[in-house]
Amino acid sequence: MAEFAPRKRVVRRDSQAMSQWAVAWQQFRKHRLAMFSLYALVVFYLLALFADTIAPYGEAQSFRRGAENRSFAPPTRIYWRDAETGRLSWPFVYPVSASRDLRTLRLVYTEDRTQAYPVRLFVRGHSYVPPPLTLVPPQIRKRLQLNWETDRHLFGVEFPATIYLWGADQFGRDVFGRILFGARISLTIGIFASLISLSLGLVLGGLSGYYGGVLDDALMRFVEVLATIPSLFLLLALRALFPLDVNPSTVFLIVITILGFIRWGPIARVVRGLALSLREEEFVQAARALGGSDARILLRHLLPGTAAYAIVAFSLLIPGFILTEAGLSFLGLGINEPASSWGLMLAVAQEGGIQTFTSRPWMLLPGLFIFVTVLAFNFVGDGLRDALDPKLRT
Amino acid sequence: MTFGYLVRRVLQMIPTFIGATLLAFLIIQAAPGDFTDRFILEPNMDAAQLERMEARFGLDKPVPLQYLNWMWSLLRFGYLGESFSYRAPVNVVIIPLIWNSMSLVLVSLFLTYLLTIPIAVISAVRQYSFLDKAVTFLSFFGLAIPNFFFILVLIVGVLMLQPVLRDLGAGDSIFGALIRPLSYDLERGLLFPVGGMRTSQIYDQLTVWGKLQDRFWHLVLPVLVVTTASLASLVRVLRGQMLEFLRADFVRTARAKGLAESTVTYKHALRNALNPLISSTGAILPELVGGAGLVEFVVRWPGITPAFVAAIAAQDIYIIMGLLTLSAVLLMIGNLLADVLLVTVDPRIRYS
């Protein structure tokens, strides 16, 4: 049986007993898909953190006027061979010029082969705040006088040539870059919203189960009422409480709060059940007999008992929130321009109707990223569940 | 006994219903902007409409009183208020929306259950076989792909096939004749319609049979997407249950008695494994209504969700309120049906 496989390793470790977490980690590492997903997620998070440097253009940097119009420009072709000699050369691109096809009224991009522009590494471009500092909110940065900026980008080409690895959107913004910038929002929103849901669920469920009585009745009726309203509609109705046209960072907070609020019910219910059964355990009664306060019993004895469930629930909540955020932004009620999020980018794809599919399929790429991220989180969650709480397996 | 149980369950629904509507009412009242703003902004609002609402709801009264008025007129007259955008009573506006959504959701629900059982049973009986691995993979796929992205991808697929099919439709090869009955509109190269609920230009002239066919074609893509999503989670649940029960002692006993394997699987294991599936119906319904939501939005299905989004954007509060109320009622009925079904299927569960 697979469950007994780690026995060998335990023996090798000079007969010292392993902690619950060490065993869980060992179990988790055997889940190959989960480990692979974990690596993939680490890569995604790193890409999101260094988005400013990796992306050749700024998040809101657009090319849409006159000669430099790049609205829905296709992915830039990168050449590796010299046009005349045919020998391998440093990669270069040709600038494109836009002209309108009078029959279809679409912009057509043609390459101008007269001058080649080499792809350069660590070029100067749009200036930005470098990575570790971007995590500090701008107000605090200003107060602490941390105003370092840099304008180096991993790669880029000289204007008038432009480099779009994955094409451009309606305003001539780089889709590759915006997917990376969008990853910041799509990857963090799920974590914060899950933290809110989980804290609400743990606190309210724990109190409800431990104290019982009127509090329990009232809370559980409220959870029931919440469950009666379809979560999408609850989400939309709650979104209506807040103004739509505010700056992106406020929207970010609003969305996190709302998302956190809609999913705590089921967690509270499970935690309540756990608390109910833990309350009757002998160690809890012993703690009470020894004169432990309610707060102490709740924090030191009941909370650790729900840890395994909490971690698994946390990891399985995240993908759901990523999907919900994408949906909300897709409807135009989530993250707003000029910030980017994967759902918002897909909304552009949808608005384009048939044109999206025939002349700019790259606008669908963010969907692939949502899919892969959610899949990875699901696998990690599955691995965690198998490792921490085999009873919960479905 | 059954009757008493039903009565008790229906009575239990009343406080939940009051709670849900009260919550919805509070959320809507808390939203910034008053709907009287709308009358100031739009001086040409129907005066009769305003009077109708004033008379019933007492719009200048405090919020609790307004709620009581709203509830009273709902119970007494079945009146849910007036829609500002549609300029009609809410009931008239939302009943067709609900029908449209239900046609999509119920077909998906039916297909989901029809498919879940055989897929999960085969997958569990032949654990770790190629088929089982494929099912597991596909259910992860179904869980991870956003509905609205999936339907977009399907539409891309249909449109990519368009030139090929158009050629087939134009020529008179044998393939054209073969494919014609299997596609929606071969002349335009569309295997399936890519939006809407019916072909609006010609729908009214169609015969009853033609209307049904037209509806069917429009259902295919959205139903496929919605079904995949709910199928993915249900198959995982049922497969897990089946695996557990196939290893249970009573199944071993049944095998030892010499019962046929199919009897063991279907009568002993499946019968027990079905319970969580039935009780989860209540939980699936809101997901279905919500899940169909974004799909409805993409294919321009005239259902609940697009109307809800539009109502939120326009602050058409009585439409929001009406839709929240009706979906809550639908959910409660769904949960009740699931519980009644569970009680009928599982004799161990008492009417209590």
Split at pLDDT 50, 70, 90, the class of A16 is low
pLDDT (tens digit per residue) in A326-346: 988 888 888 887 888 898 888
Q: What pLDDT is stored for residue B182 in this prediction? A: 72
- CA gap A59, A175 in Å, rounded: 10
**Contacting residues of B for A350, CB less than 8 Å apart:** 148, 152, 298
Are B308 and A239 inside 8 Å of each other by CB?
no
CATH of B91-345, one of 1.20.120.450, 1.10.1060.10, 1.10.3720.10, 1.10.10.10: 1.10.3720.10
Q: What pLDDT is stored for residue A15 in this prediction? A: 44
pLDDT: which is higher, A12 or A269: A269
Here the tokens at position B348 are: 């161990």
pLDDT (tens digit per residue) in B232-259: 888 888 888 888 888 888 888 988 988 8
Q: What pLDDT is stored for residue B291 in this prediction? A: 52
**Contacting residues of A for B328, CB less than 8 Å apart:** 228-229
The domains of chain B are located at 91-345
CB A192 within 8 A of CB A181: no
SS3 A163: coil
- CA gap A363, A95 in Å, rounded: 21
- The answer, for B340 touching chain A at a CB cutoff of 8 Å, is no
- Distance from the Cα of A281 to chain B's closest Cα (Å) equals 27
pLDDT (tens digit per residue) in A205-216: 988 888 888 888
Residues 207-236 of B with CB under 8 A from A: 236
**Contacting residues of A for B315, CB less than 8 Å apart:** 240
Q: What pLDDT is stored for residue A38 in this prediction? A: 92
Q: What's the pTM value of the predicted model, to 2 decimals?
A: 0.85
Checking ipTM against 0.85, whether it exceeds it is: no
Q: What's the longest Cα–Cα distance across chain A?
A: 90
CA angle at B329 for the pair B323 and B332, rounded to the nearest 5°: 140
- CA gap A97, A94 in Å, rounded: 10
Q: What pLDDT is stored for residue A2 in this prediction? A: 45
Residue B149 pLDDT exceeds 70: yes
Strands (E), chain A: 79-81, 88-93, 96-100, 107-111, 117-118, 120-128, 150-156
**Contacting residues of A for B331, CB less than 8 Å apart:** 228-230
